[in-house]
Amino acid sequence: MSNAFRDLLKKVGSGNHTAENLTRAEAATATKMMLLGEAKPAQIGAFLIAHRIKRPTGEELAGMLDAYDELGPKLQPIAAARPAMVLGLPYDGRTRTAPISPVTALLLAAAGQPVVMHGGDRLPTKYGLPLVDIWQGLGVDWTALPLAKTQQVFEQTNIGLIYTPVHFPLTNTMWEYRDQLGKRPPLATMELIWCPYAGDTHLVAGFVHPPTEAMFQVALELRGVTKFTLVKGLEGSCDLPRDRTAIIALSKTPQEIERLLLSPHDYGFTTKNVSLGSTEELLAEIQGVLVGEPGELRQTALWNGGFYLWRSGICSDMRSGLAKATELLTNGAVAAKLQELRQAVNSAAQTVGNRV
């Protein structure tokens, strides 16, 4: 099997003039061989760095997603009026700006919009603040739940998180390679548009560089994804920036993309991102947002919440989305959703513990 992988490595690693792109099927095969340990360690390391230097294509990303779909977990469809929003965030977390996506998820779920998130622990190359640490600080420990229990919580609360160290352990060995290489391989790009949900989906993903957005669009079209939102967000996340105009791609039809330029100044927001201090400081600020305290992070929560309420179809336009976000944060609905989520996760974890 390592000889078969060597042929794939030769295609991507032959240099600027002779390297070739993989077909979708070849990219799927290469990804599966790495995850299953069928390729040798030296081959995996060489492939990851060579593929980064070459740069992936949309077709290759589609093949890598095919492999994740075949080998990875999926939450099963739930009854809902709208497609589940799958928020694709960089797995290596945040180091400069305060994440708001857990608040966004709570706000959307409080309005009846299902949300799926995915990720792991502090991971290379940034080793930034991950989703699970924020959730744990809010009293929601996703790490103790097997997939069936996460499904149960998702059905009860409209929020689910695929915790990859437990739900997709085949990916665990790849993190050592990422740490040793010191650079994100194309796998990290692909993960942003991975969809671990088997039902009707609205995929949301962040990006940093414009070529990544173009690759995403090709990969999603090849895989038949028709509803998506791509955001040039904070540190590659789908959190909208406040210090600049947000550049966003909205799917209209399978072949048509609408370019949206969204300026916070036009809606009365100050053009300032919230810096990330300690985790404890962030958690205190989030708790303040949930109980209605004014502040910069509340403005970030409203800015993002308003956009995603509109984009989900719950609200008809951006201004009504902002009004709805303000209402949900002010009347305690978002705080109540967090309490509901805590109870559901704790109850699910307790039944797991009792069985053990």
What is the DSSP annotation of 18-51?
T--PPPHHHHHHHHHHHHTT-S-HHHHHHHHHHH
**What per-residue confidence (pLDDT) applies to 356?**
46
CB 37: neighbour CB atoms within 10 A? 12
For residue range 286-316, what is the model confidence (pLDDT) as tens digits? 999 999 999 999 999 999 999 999 999 999 9
Residue in 244, 195, 250 with CA at minimum distance from that of residue 97: 244
Contact call for residues 279 and 101 (beta carbons, < 8 A): no
> SS3 for 249?
strand
Chain mean pLDDT for the chain? 95
State which amino acid sits at residue 241: P
Q: CATH number for 84-335: choose from 3.40.1030.10, 1.10.10.10, 3.40.50.720, 3.30.450.20.
A: 3.40.1030.10
Query: Hey, what's the torsion of the CAs at 145, 150, 153, 154, to 10 degrees?
Result: 160
Query: Hey, what's the torsion of the CAs at 122, 214, 97, 272, to 10 degrees?
Result: -170
For residue range 138-154, what is the model confidence (pLDDT) as tens digits? 999 999 999 999 999 99
User: How far apart, in Å, are the Cα atoms of 186 and each of 2, 61, 64, 140?
Assistant: 21, 8, 9, 31
If pLDDT is split at 50, 70 and 90, which confidence band does 354 have?
A: low
CB 352: neighbour CB atoms within 10 A? 13
Can you name the residues that pair with 204 across neighbouring β-strands? 87, 229
- Within 253-332, where are the H helices? 279-290, 296-312, 318-330
For residue range 47-95, what is the model confidence (pLDDT) as tens digits? 999 999 999 999 999 999 999 999 999 999 999 999 999 999 999 999 9
Counted residue by residue, the chain has a size of 356
Whether pLDDT at 1 is above 60: no
**Beta strands, E only, 111-237:** 115-119, 159-163, 201-206, 228-231
Structure tokens at 266: 């036009």
If pLDDT is split at 50, 70 and 90, which confidence band does 256 have?
A: confident
Distance of alpha carbon 343 from alpha carbon 356, whole angstroms: 20
Distance between the two ends of the chain, CA-based, in angstroms? 39
Contact call for residues 101 and 87 (beta carbons, < 8 A): yes
For the chain, how big is the Rg over CA atoms in Å?
Answer: 20
Structure tokens at 349: 């974890």
H helix or E strand, kind and range, residue 344: helix 333-355
Residue in 199, 195, 117 with CA at minimum distance from that of residue 163: 117
In the chain, CATH 3.40.1030.10 covers 84-335
Q: Looking at per-residue confidence, does 318 or 173 come out higher? A: 318
The burial of 121, by beta-carbon neighbours within 10 Å (0-12 exposed, 13-18 middle, 19 or more buried), is given as middle
**What per-residue confidence (pLDDT) applies to 77?**
98
State which amino acid sits at residue 122: R
For residue range 165-208, what is the model confidence (pLDDT) as tens digits? 999 999 999 999 999 999 999 999 999 999 999 999 999 999 99
Distance of alpha carbon 128 from alpha carbon 92, whole angstroms: 6
**What per-residue confidence (pLDDT) applies to 351?**
85
**Which residues neighbour 112 within 8 Å (Cβ) at sequence distance 6 or greater?**
80, 81, 82, 158, 314
